[in-house]
Chain A
Amino acid sequence: MTNGPAVLVEGLGKTYPGGVRAVDGISFEVERGEFFGFLGPNGAGKTTTIKILATLLPKTEGRVEVAGLDVTRDPKAVRQAIGVALQEVGLDDLSKGRDFLELQGLLYGLSRAEARERAAELLELVGLSSVADRRVGSYSGGMRRRIDLAGALMHNPGVLFLDEPTTGLDPQSRIAVWEHLEELNARGVTIFLTTQHMDEADRLCRRLAIIDHGHLVAEGSPAALKAGVGGDIVHVAFNSDDSADDRVDAALAAVRDLPGIRQADFAERGLTATVSDGGAAAPAIMTAFQDANLSIANLSITRPSLDDVFLQHTGRQIRDSDADGDAEDRMWSQWMGVNRR
């Protein structure tokens, strides 16, 4: 590996044929050895960005260096330096787990003996030795992620790109994947991970960037980002069938006028407000709801989470964004002409 940061992105933009702007001038850096999270809802530009970094997709403009190498000028060297596991993509269902790994090794220039040895080692690491000679198509979701991860590690890459490595996994499998990733990072592998799960980013990443609609909206350590929200979070769940109800708008307007309220937004049939002192603000918020004729189902006061960081920067909860999301996926399918999922 040459000098420079693990990932350097300057003014990166991507416009798909047809004019959809998926990534709109983002810049960030990932240091060597870092565990970096790229956080955002579906369709925010995460997958496009990771595909550009991994040389799978050409960029429209900007400068991108991975492992000190320019992805456009020197794609082959970049490919040799990195390991990539995209969203449940690229598994060869008819191949046996062990054969899949050995072929990966051979394609990255390992000798047969090296590939055999490394495959056995990684099967052990990801806990798949007992099913190594079964076809990948027979693996469960968690096993598929783990064999894919092992495949990305065959050639000992210094930088690992993972696109939503735990999406769709049951809680136990998620934790197993997390533990493997933490172990790899502890051994010095730089990890660049995209996720739409705040808890995942919070647990794993030392630093993260939040992307929304192709723009970076925040960057920093999870602790610093949460501290940046400031104060407490008051969440009020109310009983109303329709969140577009006039009463809801009235309540929101009233809450926003209260003293000590920094931000208030609706999300998921409830209201989330950032306040300097939760205990002091709660009674006034309840009154505002009563005045608007809305009955409160539940009120909670918590310290900020990454969800609140996202809400603060985008005005939406990440889960809400899923509904209008998939724009990026749709566009990708359109470009490819196939439904990838």
Chain B
Amino acid sequence: MLILRESYFIYVRNLKTWLAQPWMIVAAVLSSAFMFLFFGEPLRGITALPGFPADDYQAFLAAMVIVMAVVFSGSDMAMVLLTDMMSGYVDKLLLSPVNRFSILLGTLLIGGTRAMAQVLAIILVASAIGVRFEGGVLGILGVIVATTLLGVAMGCVGLIVAMRTRSVQVTVNSWLLFMPLAFLTSAFMPRDLLTGWFQVAVGLNPIEYIMVAVRAVIIEGWVWDSILPGIWILLATTAVLVGAATYEYRRATN
């Protein structure tokens, strides 16, 4: 398949570009380690609350650290694409006879790869501070696959922001867009213990269901009642966002 061959070349280029910026990687890992340190430590006592589902708050928090890192990676992907648009590298690709979709695919796949690498790093950090994964090795693999997909989906949001606005100031600040997605969740506290409008808003946020599924695998193991809704919502969200990014990309390159 020519598209796969072309996408692969573009993907490898994007991978090299990413690896050529080691501070991007260091910062991504550090920010996740800081989450455990600055949220996990002070909030440790929450587990004593009646009805709190985990004994180890760091284990509870691990799902939030993982999902949040991947959600915010969408903002990084926006910047990656915008940088290539502004340097004219996207034009250079468009001048070549490659299929337009190969360029998009090579970019989305790097979004997935970055998410995957970051999740892997977080799992290592979590293990190092003593978090046990109830879902076992298969659970860890499941979390990695799911969050890679989520990385592609969030990358789509980033690409749409970059293509629509073509503006540095909007794109640099696009993490704001991802903030409600990441924080209107049961990130710090299970949904049953939340109250009022916040609890309602959390129920409407698709990311919440993905976070609940990831957390279930970590603190409880294979509890399908909590995991399945997350899987369906992840698949649906990814499909919709890839579709929207493809549409937007067609519009922008024609």
Contact = CB atoms under 8 A, between A and B. Distances in A.
Interface stretch (A52-60, A262-270, A274-282, A310-318): A52-60
A134 interface: no
A10 to B, nearest CB: 23
A12 B13 CA distance: 36
B132 interface: no
B95 A94 contact: no
Interface stretch (B109-117, B162-170, B174-182): B162-170
B86 A338 contact: yes
For B21, B89, B168, B254, the residue with the greatest tally of chain A CB atoms inside 10 Å of its CB is: B89
B93 interface: yes
Interface in B7-21: 9-10, 13, 16-17, 20-21
For B6, B17, B94, B97, the residue with the greatest tally of chain A CB atoms inside 10 Å of its CB is: B97
Interface residues of A, number: 31
A94 B92 CA distance: 15
B87 A337 contact: no
Interface string A58-101: 10000000000000000011011000101011111111000100
A139 interface: no
A95 B17 contact: yes
A107 B9 contact: yes
B97 A108 contact: yes
Contacts, number: 73
A103 B13 contact: yes
Interface in B117-155: none
A55 B98 CA distance: 13
Interface residues of B, number: 26
A14 to B, nearest CB: 15
Dominant secondary structure of chain A at its interface with chain B: loop
Contact of B13 (A89, A92, A337): A92
A104 interface: yes
For A86, A90, A93, A151, the residue with the greatest tally of chain B CB atoms inside 10 Å of its CB is: A90
A313 to B, nearest CB: 32
B165 A92 contact: no
B10 to A, nearest CB: 8
B97 A338 contact: no
B195 interface: no
Contact of B95 (A55, A91, A103): A55
B248 to A, nearest CB: 14
A16 B6 CA distance: 32
Nearest to B254: A58
For A91, A99, A103, A107, the residue with the greatest tally of chain B CB atoms inside 10 Å of its CB is: A107
A323 interface: no
Contact of B91 (A80, A90, A107, A109): A90
B17 A79 contact: no
A336 interface: yes
B79 to A, nearest CB: 13
A91 B9 CA distance: 16
Nearest to B2: A109
A112 to B, nearest CB: 10
A156 B16 CA distance: 26
Contacts of B167: 337-338
A9 interface: no
Contacts of B87: 89-93
A268 to B, nearest CB: 33
B88 A86 contact: yes
Given A95-B16, A104-B96, A338 B85 contact: yes
A106 B9 contact: yes
A88 to B, nearest CB: 8
Contact of B16 (A55, A56, A94): A94
A180 interface: no
9 contacts: A77-B97, A79-B95, A86-B91, A89-B91, A90-B88, A90-B92, A104-B96, A106-B9, A107-B98
Interface of B: 6, 9-10, 13, 16-17, 20-21, 85-89, 91-98, 165-168, 254
Given A90-B95, A94-B21, 9 more contacts: A89-B88, A90-B88, A92-B17, A93-B87, A104-B96, A107-B10, A107-B96, A135-B20, A340-B86
